[in-house]
Structure 1
Amino acid sequence: MPRISAAQRRSDFINAAVEVIAIHGIDGATTRRIAEQAQANLALLHYCYNSKEDLFADVYEFVSGRFRDVLQAGDPHADLADTARQLLRAGMKCYLESPSFTAATLELISWARRQHGERGKAVYDQALETMRTVLRGAPTDHPVEPETIDQIAYVIATLADGFAINWYTYGDRSAATEQMEITVSVLDSWLAARLGSTPVAP
């Protein structure tokens, strides 16, 4: 039987922690439950991580990395308005693909703001900065003020998070799929007013 590397074990524990946090919340995410979810013994978890705090630090990085990856995966040749739409869709799809990821992300950010302050902002700050970077790289017919880029990133984040809370609350995938299109149409209308672009027909 091939030996599983420490890096793979850590990845297993991170994924298990996401599932356990989604079901039991932070307070209920014991190392024992996480080890059981990963189908590993508790001693192995403690071999990979000195403390639950160390494991949660990697969970935060996993959440940040997942947002970063999906936000960077769009068409690099799309114009600014299309890039904004792609970013919004990517964020919503990231939530829709995994109810556990959605629940764990909301729980982690809320918990971290209560317990650690700045760490609670880190996931959000990194996602916003990734969006700004992608938006700044989008081709435009005329220069766009940094303030406008900040506003677009803020609107995308706000719409995606509203979608996430609704999806987390109701868990209706069919309704959520329809609501994705409604949410994109809201962004279209805002972009048309802010940039003078033509909204995309649904």
Structure 2
Amino acid sequence: MARVAADERRRLLVQAAIRVMAREGVAQATTRAIVAEADMSLGTFHYCFRSKEELLEQVITTITSHTLAPALEIISGEGTFEEKLRGGLAYYWQHVLDNPDEHRVTYELTQYATRNPALAEFARTQYRTYLEAQTEIIERLATTAGITWKVDDAVLARYLTAILDGLTLLYLNEGDAETAGAAVDLAATQLLGLVEQQG
């Protein structure tokens, strides 16, 4: 392939890894399969990533960014606090509906890592990434809407992560989009009740 910058090669390898995992499963996403998907050499992979674990961390960061960046844009835009909150959650949920295989990869990665001693730290890193993303969202909501939460940000981030993680997994296995979407809306209503004050 034509010569490209190292950062771009890393991005292409991450995207290739996501495609392979979504299509064939995490266990089948060998470094050889990933570089073949990206039309690169095995040497390029080892030049771009120190280990497969580093690649997997980038996969999780990339998948998380697919929903985080647009949600932050919604939260930072025009509208009332409630509109921003519901809009951010609605965007996340629509992404689940539109990209179920991508979200399925995240759960498969967790299970794969917990059964692989070489990836023992990966699952913890994965969920730290989720918590950091939720913390950024609730802090941005508070700042842009001029509100104060009744509970500590760290607690709220875990609550929101658990709700969205659980509803996503339930939907991926059950397939009831309408009821799961109503549950996401219920979560938004509950979050509205955790506001101390609104400026």
Shared fold, TM over 0.5: yes
Question: 1:192–1:95: structure 2 CA closer, same or farther, 3 Å change rule?
Answer: closer
What TM-score comes out, normalization by structure 1 length? 0.73
Q: State the TM-score, normalizing by the size of structure 2.
A: 0.74
**Which of the numbers 145, 158, 164 marks the counterpart of 1:160?**
164
Residues 109 and 82 (structure 1 numbering): CA distance in 2 closer, same or farther, change over 3 Å? farther
Q: Which residue of 2 aligns with 1:94?
A: 95
SS in 2 for 1:144: strand
> How far apart are the structure 2 equivalents of 1:193 and 1:75?
18
Q: Structure 2: give runs of 5+ residues left out of the alignment.
A: none
SS in 2 for 1:40: coil
Q: Where do 5+ consecutive residues of structure 1 fail to align? A: 197-202
Q: Number of paired residues?
A: 190
Deviation per CA, 1:94-121: give whole Å up to 9, x if none. 3233223212222234444562153132
Instruction: Indicate how the Cα distance of structure 1 residues 123 and 24 shifts in structure 2: closer, same or farther if over 3 A, else same.
Output: farther
Pick closer, same or farther for the CA change 1:75–1:36 going to 2, 3 Å. Answer: same
1: CA distance, partners of 2:15 / 2:156: 31
After TM superposition, give the deviation of residue 92 of structure 1 in Å. 1.4
Do the aligned partners of residues 37 and 162 (structure 1) sit closer, same or farther apart at CA in structure 2, a change above 3 Å counting? same
- Which residue does the alignment assign to 1:144? 148
Q: Which residue does the alignment assign to 2:20?
A: 20
Equivalent position amino acid for 1:166 in 2: L
CA-CA distance at 1:30 after TM superposition? 0.7
Alignment of 1:43 with 2:43, yes or no, is: yes
Alignment RMSD (CA, Å):
3.1
Instruction: Give 1:147 deviation, angstroms.
Output: 0.4
Q: Distance in 1 between matches of 2:43 and 2:144?
A: 49
Q: State the AA in 2 paired with 1:162.
A: G
CA drift at 1:166: 3.5
1:80 corresponds to which residue? 81
Deviation per residue, 1:150-173 (Å, 9 max, x gap): 666555434432332234225x6x
